[in-house]
């Protein structure tokens, strides 16, 4: 009985991992690729680990699997946020169909609210622009 549940969860996890990889290849933009890999990849890896827990049913294995899943779910959004922020700051090409870019205003005009780091980055960018001119 548990083998069948484990096999089904394993297949669903494999499907989500495959969706993440196809999205990484097919989507046109760095931020969209991140959207595919972070969410679908996390879900796929978590489901495959959950299948391991259902296969063994041992307390030690279940504890290890739960710890791994919690760690992945906590760290994957942080890593994606760091990559996306630094990539946007460096200046990647957004998709040409992009309509709203609210972060552009904060970086260009220094309207970053109370986040001092963003202000410093906006000033640094204006300084580098002056040096280019």
Partner 1 sequence: MDFLTIAVNITFAALSISLILSLIRIMVGPSLPDRVVALDLVAFLVIGFIATYSISVEQPVFLDAAIVLALIAFLGTLAFARYVRYANTQIGE
Q: Which residues inside 22-61 make contact with partner 1, applying CB under 8 A?
A: 22, 24-25, 30, 33-34, 37-38, 41-42, 44-45, 48-49, 51-52, 55-56, 58, 60-61
126 is an interface residue for partner 1 by CB under 8 A = no
Residue closer to partner 1, measured from CB, 71 or 129: 71
64 is an interface residue for partner 1 by CB under 8 A = yes
66 is an interface residue for partner 1 by CB under 8 A = no
String of DSSP letters for the chain: -HHHHHHHHHHHHHHHHHHHHHHHHH-SSHHHHHHHHHHHHHHHHHHHHHHHHHHH--HHHHHHHHHHHHHHHHHHHHHHHHHHHHHHHHTPPPPTT----HHHHHHHH---TT-HHHHHHHHHHHHHHHHH-
94 is an interface residue for partner 1 by CB under 8 A = no
In whole angstroms, give the CA distance from residue 37 to residue 73. Answer: 13
122 is an interface residue for partner 1 by CB under 8 A = no
- Give the residues lining the site for partner 1 (CB under 8 A): 3-4, 6-8, 10-11, 13-15, 17-18, 20-22, 24-25, 30, 33-34, 37-38, 41-42, 44-45, 48-49, 51-52, 55-56, 58, 60-61, 64-65, 67-68, 71-72, 75-76, 78-80, 82-87, 89-90, 92-93, 124, 127
């Amino acid at each position: 009985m548990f083998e069948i549940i484990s096999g089904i969860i394993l297949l669903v996890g494999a499907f989500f991992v495959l969706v993440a990889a196809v999205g990484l290849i097919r989507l046109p933009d760095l931020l969209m690729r991140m959207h595919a890999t972070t969410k679908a990849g996390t879900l796929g890896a978590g489901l495959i680990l959950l299948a391991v827990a259902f296969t063994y049913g041992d307390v030690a294995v279940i504890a290890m699997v739960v710890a791994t899943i919690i760690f992945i779910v906590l760290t994957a959004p942080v890593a994606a946020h760091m990559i996306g922020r630094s990539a946007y700051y460096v200046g990647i090409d957004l998709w040409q169909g992009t309509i709203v870019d609210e972060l552009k205003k904060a970086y260009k005009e220094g309207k970053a609210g109370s986040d001092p780091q963003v202000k410093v980055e906006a000033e640094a960018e204006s300084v580098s622009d002056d040096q280019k001119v």
